[in-house]
Amino acid sequence: MKNRYRIEIYDDVKANDLTIYSESNVDKEYLTEMVFSNLRQFSGNIRAYVYDNVKKKKTTALILPMELLSKYRNYKLTSDEIMMN
């Protein structure tokens, strides 16, 4: 099914919202990589959800506080560093 999953990444500023559609489900690790690859777009606490459009429910969630983000904003992380936090 086309565009079955909707990935929403947002913070407190409405203009920074990011929505991506996917045909396959997104796990927690891939969602974390997506958030960190778009880190410079956001300022504040980040919330990210994967929403299944067929079952009408959230399948994966990620919440990152601003303190954690300010620590990693200046340099690129490996996937191992991301999963340690």
Residue 3, phi-psi category: left (phi > 0), alpha (psi -120 to 50), beta (remainder)? left
Q: Strand locations in 1-85, DSSP E?
A: 5-10, 18-22, 46-52, 57-64
Asked if 85 contacts 38 with a C-beta cutoff of 8 angstroms, the reply is no
Q: What is the pTM (predicted TM-score) of this model? A: 0.74
Residue 1's pLDDT is what? 61
pLDDT tens string, the chain, 85 residues long: the values are 678 999 999 988 888 899 999 999 899 999 989 988 888 788 888 999 999 999 999 999 999 888 776 666 665 556 665 665 5
